[in-house]
Amino acid sequence: MQKTAQAILLSSIMMFLFSAPVLADMDHMQKGHHTGHHRGDMNYGKKSHEVSCWTETLTDDQKAKFAKMRLELKKAKSLLKAQIKVKKIELVTLVTEDNPDQSAIDQKINEILALKKQKMQKKYAFKIAIRSMLTPEQRVQFDMSLLKKAVHGKGQGYQKKSGHKNYGHR
């Protein structure tokens, strides 16, 4: 009976996780956000230090291609993120069983890592595709932006500095 209840709960969570990110993103796009229609700026909502100068030099055609490619990437990443969340829930379920099976846990970890690898591959394929549509001058600015992010990180967001580990919370 407990297994059936867990399966129903897990199925419900999976359905929500798979549908919510994509639906939310589509609703967000339909409202004109991040498509260049909101305040006439495709970088609206980003902090000034996040806006790369290479995006300001894009032609209208490049902006359209960039927006389409970005939407496709967001859809793919949303689906992968949802799958990763489901796998993590399944992993916790395996760990909390009365007699945890280490090989099943290891297999679930491998599944999570494979999904994370796919997500990273899609991200970098996107960067290569964007770079290929840029002019040589834009590529220099794009490359500088990538290098800056690689060295300094994505931005100046909240960084937890405490010395203790936060088990199970991210």
Q: What is the 3-state secondary structure (H, E, C) of 97-135?
A: CCCCCHHHHHHHHHHHHHHHHHHHHHHHHHHHHHHHCCC
- pLDDT of 152 reads 83
- pLDDT of 141 reads 94
Q: Which alpha helices (H) appear in the chain, and where do they start and end?
A: 2-30, 53-56, 60-95, 102-132, 136-152
Positions of the chain with pLDDT lower than 70, given as ranges: 1-52, 154-170
Q: CA dihedral defined by 43, 48, 54, 60, rounded to 10 degrees?
A: 30
SS3 96: coil
- pLDDT of 112 reads 98
- pLDDT of 41 reads 47
- pLDDT of 40 reads 46
Average pLDDT over the chain reads 78
Question: In the chain, what are the domain boundaries?
Answer: 2-34+53-152
Residue 9 CB partners (closer than 8 Å, separation 6+): none
Residue 154 CB partners (closer than 8 Å, separation 6+): 50
- pLDDT of 111 reads 98
